[in-house]
Amino acid sequence: MIRKIAFLGTPEISTTVLRYIATSGYEIPLVVTGEDKRRGRGSDLTPSPVKLAALELGLEVSHDPKVLLETDFDLAVVVAYGRLISEPLLAKGTFVNLHFSLLPRWRGAAPMERAILAGDTETGVCLMRLVKELDAGPLYQVRRVPLDNEICLDDLAAQLGKLANEALGAELALGDSAFSASIEQVGPPTYAHKLSVEDLRIDWSCRGVEVLRQVRLGRAWTVLDGARFKILSARVSSAEMGLAAGELSGVHVGTQDGVIELGRVQPQNKRIMAAGEWVRGLKHANELRFV
């Protein structure tokens, strides 16, 4: 019977599962998470979202996974931890991973982002056993969710966090039979490499739908008058304005196959604002071009 569950995770989406385990009657002997980091120039070290949640719950926290070798646990649950688990740890007990894709599609660090960028029509959560090879273990539970052309990364993360709890809860509910039956992954794998800054730079010569996929990740950017300019929300426009790629007319921008309408933007060194407000503050709004 599973009573003690160790937890490994780092970002905000991992906290959903940590809190679920903590409120479901299981003992959590140890939480392992990424190191504290500086989030801005000259700023103090900031704990990971998982560390903050664990401390709030009164749980023991470590940045060193080797501590688990000396920890008594029945199961270790990994959610977006950010590091590979060593073979000695895998040999100590059962390690399972909640991965935010439909494996074997999008193994790796950025499965949600890559699914959106690729225009996938569905994604989901897989509960799998951890093995030496990256995200290649057999599957215990799978949950699916459709993807449309509007959902943003934050909303998708919230949906998948709930599905992760559902998948883990369903397996744990099997009692002594939990984590005993699994199926192998089927199909060719694809890899969700971590996004670079350039992956988030908008190429205005692309189709409007591809531009909007980048925008839906929440960190898309372009260049205006030599300065970085973030576009946080936008939508397809039905306006027929004959704009060239990257050409601006008010809140409208040309793409390869049409026009998008800007929603929320953030010029460099300024606050987030509505695109209309930004345009009203410009002296030459119709003489600008994104590059």
Give the 3-state DSSP-derived string for 269-291, with helices as H, strands as E and coil as C. CCCCEEHHHHHHCCCCHHHCECC
Domains of the chain: 5-192 (3.40.50.170), 198-287 (3.10.25.10)
- Count the alpha carbons within 13 Å of 250 in the hemisphere toward its beta carbon: 8
CA distance 127 to 129: 7
Q: Would you tell me how many other CB atoms lie within 10 Å of the CB of residue 287? A: 9
CA distance 119 to 83: 27
CA distance 31 to 49: 12
Per-residue pLDDT of the chain (291 residues; tens, 9 = 90+): 999 999 999 999 999 999 999 999 999 999 999 999 876 666 688 999 999 999 999 999 999 999 999 999 999 999 999 999 999 999 999 999 999 999 999 999 999 999 999 999 999 999 999 999 999 999 999 999 999 999 999 999 999 999 999 999 999 999 999 999 999 999 999 999 999 999 999 999 999 999 999 999 999 999 999 999 999 999 999 888 889 999 999 999 999 999 999 999 999 999 999 999 999 988 776 678 999
CA distance 210 to 68: 43
Beta bridge partners of 37: 46
Counting every residue written for the chain, the total comes to 291
pTM across the whole model: 0.94
Residue 76, H or E segment: strand 75-79
Position 40 scores a pLDDT of 62
